[in-house]
Structure 1
Amino acid sequence: MPIVAVAIGAVVAIIVLIIIFKAIWRVAEPNEALIISGLGAKAHNRDTAESLGFKITTGKGTMVLPGFQTCRRLSLDTRVSGLEVTCVTSQGIKVHVRGVVIYKVGDDFSSIANAARRFLDQQKMMDDKTHQLFAGHLRSIVGNLTVEDLLRDRDRLTNQVRTSSADEMGKLGLVVDSLQIQDIEDEVGYIDNLGKPNSAAVASAARIAEAQRNQEATQAEQMAEQANAAQIRDTEIKKRQYQGQVDQAAAEARQQVITKETKNAELEADRREKALEAEVRKPADAKAYERVTLAEAERKAAVAQAQAEAEATKINGQAEAEATRMKGIAEAEAIKARADALAENQEAVIAQQLAERWPEIVEAGAGVFGNVDNMVVLNGAEGVEDMLAKALTLGGTGLGVARQLLSTMNGQRSADASASNGKLVPVESDPDTK
């Protein structure tokens, strides 16, 4: 515990020392001077060995005892003060002079001491005092000069003002970095009138120069136009000469073409004459001969064809007669064979005829049921077959068809029988075979 207490006490002591050091130690910035006054704050001016009642510190730190000493700061920054002064020249002309003064507190101990005595608590008054100082010197110097002197040599005016105010600025602890006269004006237009002759001369010279330039430009344009016209004329002449040569060459070429075309036309006429001789006249004679020969050949062919057709007609007639005779014999044999078949197996022939016309018989029998709306069939397919058989056998239309068929067959059988007894039925020949 005692060690901890000692350590804490040491830390507290260090902190207290740091606080005390910060409270009593002051450091001057590069652009300021520390003015320390109070108990023991005395120093000697290094420039004049004058004993001062305060201490000046620049660019370093110093100790200030609180309660016994006071530390204040004096700015060494550059300051700007504008000048607007109404002056009267030696000619009695009132002019307004505007300028600017750039100044600061001097870096030496004497300047700092002088500035500290006058502006330490009133640093904002530096600009006003500086303006008054320079305004007085500026009025004094301008009163000995003319307006022409002011306009002609402003550097002279600036140097005179700086030189005349240097001693007083030094007593204030101030030094001038720059002084510029920016503008000079008058109320009566004197300065403007001074410039008018020169302005008129300059304007006249400008107009003369402009007129000369315009004249020279016009002459140059005329010469250029003449040269251009001559060039155009020469170009047109050359173009026409060249065009004449081209036209002459074209005419000669056309003449050659015409001559060649004429010769070609003559050759073409000769060729066509020969072609006409070879292609028209000779073929015409040949065609005439051919027509005569063909006519004779056609006549002979017609005679031969007529003879052949007559012979063919005769042969066709004989062939048709023979075909008719053979057809009659075949039909008679067929009738005889049918009669023999009917005599030997009448039932088979009737069944065959019925089978051939069975669809017609069934269709006629089905007509019986045409007006029936509802019908109940028993025993399935057997019931349908039984019903159809009854329809055919109970005097229906199908039965009439069957009866008609049987009558037809009986008539046919009688005819066949008659034919078989040696009575032949005449058969007409096909009209197309006549």
Structure 2
Amino acid sequence: MFGYRVPAPDEAMLISGGRRGLEGAPFRVVTGHGKFVLPVFRKTRFLTLAMCESEVAETCVTRQGIALTVRAVIAFKVGNDHESIVNAGQRFLSDQDQMSVLTGRIFAGHLRSIIGSMTVEEIVTERQKLATEVLETSKAEMAKIGLVVDSLQIQSIDDGDAGYIAAMSAPHKAAIKRAAQVAQAQATQAAAEAEQAAARNQAEYARQTAVVKAQYNAEVDRAQAQAAQAGPLAAAHAQQEVLAAQTELAQRAAELRQQQLVAEIVKPAEAEAERIRVLAQAEAERMKIQAEAAASHDRVALDRMLIDQLPQIVKEAAGGLAGANVNVLNGADGLGEIAAGLVGQGLTILDSVRRNLGAPQASDDTKPGARKQLNSGQIDVD
């Protein structure tokens, strides 16, 4: 709208002409809102309220006489109150860049003054104290020109080629260097220990892996060997069983052959020997009978005849057994009993003949052996 002016948020609108401002100010101050301004009769100007910056690089001499180059940055602005705006407007409205130049000069003077009362050690170690003192001493002067300092930062302090600051920091540098070397040595040692521990762990893991692999390979080899030996072992066991069966069969065949030989050779031989022995006993008995008969004169003829026939009787009895199926129940003793039985039968026959002819029987005293052999023999003739 024509004649209506509005300042920016970071500006103050100064209206000159017409009535004076508050407290006798040569202009009226408008901030935060607009206002009608009559053209030609009123003149409007704007003063920045934004933050401004000023850099200071000043060579200052300390209390010890050592020259130091101090670099600082000052952040300032026009105050928000009416008085500060009026003061700043009267001084900087036509050339607002002069605010930075004048602020730098003001702070340079205060820096020289304050640093001149301090030592290098204090300046280096207490920068914040230096900045605070400079701000406090410059506050009143800055307020007179309508400026407010927000902050002061000491950027650098340099003694040039004097080397004072470097010498002052040498012990600290040495201590820091020693601490750094110790820390580096400790870190190197820790790294070496960690590396050795890692190597030991890797070696242990490799050893365990090798052991497990060896055990696995051994189990595989053992299983393969058992599998490879299974066939030959089975064949060997089968062959062993065959040999055992053959051996048992051979033993049974040998036992059967032995029994056959005993039945075919030994038994007939024993029977023949027993027969011969029986005949010999009969012959001996016959001779005994002959002798007894020779001693008896009343039966000479009869006894002579019986004695002559007795071997033939016994022979016939023995011959009757030649084709018979004879079972011997008690072994070799049975064979002797058979032979004794034959002799006993012969004597029995002899007694029977005597009885039939009316001849007296032989007394038991003359033939005790024959009677006893007849009673003890056990014969089974088919």
Which TM-score band (shorter chain)?
Answer: 0.5 to 0.7
**Separation (CA, whole Å) in 2 of partners of 1:151 and 1:267:** 108
Q: What corresponds to 2:20 in structure 1?
A: 42
For the pair 1:28 / 2:7, whether they are aligned, the reply is yes
Q: Distance in 1 between matches of 2:225 and 2:76?
A: 101
Read off the aligned partner of 1:42 and give its amino acid letter: R
Of 80, 84, 93, the residue aligned with 1:111 is 84
Does 1:142 find its partner at 2:115? yes
Distance 1:209 1:71, change over 3 A: closer
Deviation at 1:137, TM superposition (A): 0.5
User: Where is the helix percentage greater, Structure 1 or Structure 2?
Assistant: 1
1:224 offset after TM fit, Å? 6.2
Give the Å deviation of 1:88. Answer: 1.5
The alpha-carbon distance between structure 1 residues 159 and 258, as it changes in their structure 2 partners (threshold 3 A), is same
Tell me the secondary structure at the aligned position of residue 123 of structure 1: coil
Residues 108-128 of structure 1: CA distance to partner in whole angstroms, max 9, x if unpaired? Answer: 221122112211212121111
**In structure 1, what is the equivalent of residue 160 of structure 2?**
187
Shift of 1:132: 0.4
Q: Which amino acid is the alignment partner of residue 70 of structure 1? A: K
Partner residue, 1:157:
130
Q: 2:51 aligns with which of 78, 90, 96?
A: 78
Alpha-carbon distance change, 217 to 77 in structure 1, aligned in 2, over 3 angstroms: closer
The whole-number CA distance in structure 2 between the counterparts of 1:65 and 1:31 is 23
Gaps of 5+ in 1: 1-17, 46-50, 269-434
Instruction: Call closer, same or farther: CA 1:115–1:265 in 2, change over 3 Å.
Output: same
TM-score by length of 2: 0.53
Tell me the distance in 2 between the aligned counterparts of 1:60 and 1:246.
97
Change (3 A) 1:228 1:63: closer
Relative to structure 1, the CA distance from residue 236 to residue 145 in structure 2 (aligned partners, 3 Å threshold; closer, same or farther) is same
| CA distance in 1 between partners of 2:141 and 2:50 (Å) | 20
Contact 1:32 1:73 in 2 (8 A): yes
CA separation of 1:65/1:243 partners in 2, compared to 1, >3 Å: closer, same or farther? closer
Q: Percent identity?
A: 44
Q: 2:171 aligns with which of 197, 206, 225?
A: 197
Q: Deviations over 1:217-254 (max 9, x none)?
A: 54565566567667767876787788778777876776
Partner residue of 1:303?
none
Instruction: Kindly provide the CA deviation profile for residues 377-402 of structure 1, in whole angstroms up to 9, marking residues without a partner as x.
Output: xxxxxxxxxxxxxxxxxxxxxxxxxx
Alignment check: 8 A CA contact 1:41 1:69 kept: no
Cα 1:254–1:108 change in 2 (3 A) is closer
**Is 2:102 the counterpart of 1:123?**
no
Which range moves more in the overlay, 118-127 or 255-264?
Answer: 255-264
SS at 1:73 equivalent: strand
CA distance in 1, matches of 2:26, 2:197: 93
Structure 2 partner of 1:52: 25
1:84–1:99 contact (8 Å) kept in structure 2? yes
Letter paired with 2:126: D
Aligned positions of 1:22-421 closer than 5 A: 22-23=2-3, 25-38=4-17, 40-45=18-23, 51-188=24-161, 189-219=163-193, 222=196, 257-262=231-236
Cα distance, 1:152 vs. partner? Answer: 1.5
Equivalent residue letter for 1:124:
D
Q: How far apart are the structure 2 equivalents of 1:227 and 1:28? A: 76
Matches of 1:230 and 1:73, distance apart in 2? 82
Q: What secondary structure, in the 3-state scheme, does the structure 2 residue paired with 1:80 have?
A: strand
Q: Distance in 1 between matches of 2:221 and 2:7?
A: 107
2:50 is matched by which residue type in structure 1?
D
Deviation at 1:186, TM superposition (A): 2.0
**C-alpha distance in 2, partners of 1:146/1:180?**
19
Contact 1:32–1:76 at 8 Å: present in 2 too? yes
Alpha-carbon offset, residue 171 of structure 1: 0.8
Distance in 1 separating the partners of 2:202 and 2:100: 74
1:134 deviates by: 0.7
How many residues in Structure 1 have an aligned counterpart in Structure 2? 242
Name the CA shift for 1:162/1:263 in 2 (closer, same or farther; >3 Å). closer
Quick one: structure 1 residues 233 and 135, their matched pair in 2 at CA, closer, same or farther if it must change by over 3 Å? closer
SS in 1 for 2:103: helix
Q: Contact 1:150/1:157 (CA < 8 Å) preserved in 2?
A: yes
CA distance in 2, matches of 1:222, 1:57: 78
* Structure 2 unaligned spans of 5+: 243-382
Q: Deviations over 1:153-212 (max 9, x none)?
A: 221111111111111111111111222212222202332333332222222222223334
Deviation larger for 173-182 or 124-133: 173-182
Deviation (angstroms), 1:27: 3.5
TM-fit CA distance, 1:60: 3.5
How much has 1:141 moved relative to structure 2? 0.8
* Alignment partners' CA distance in 1, 2:117 and 2:221: 96
Cα distance in 2 for partners of 1:35, 1:194 equals 54
Q: Which residue of 2 aligns with 1:359?
A: none
With over 3 angstroms needed to count, the CA separation of the structure-2 counterparts of 1:257 and 1:162, relative to structure 1, is: same
Instruction: Name the CA distance, whole Å, in 1 between partners of 2:146 and 2:64.
Output: 36
Rounded to whole Å, the distance in 2 between the matches of 1:231 and 1:26 is 85
Q: Which amino acid aligns with 2:78?
A: V
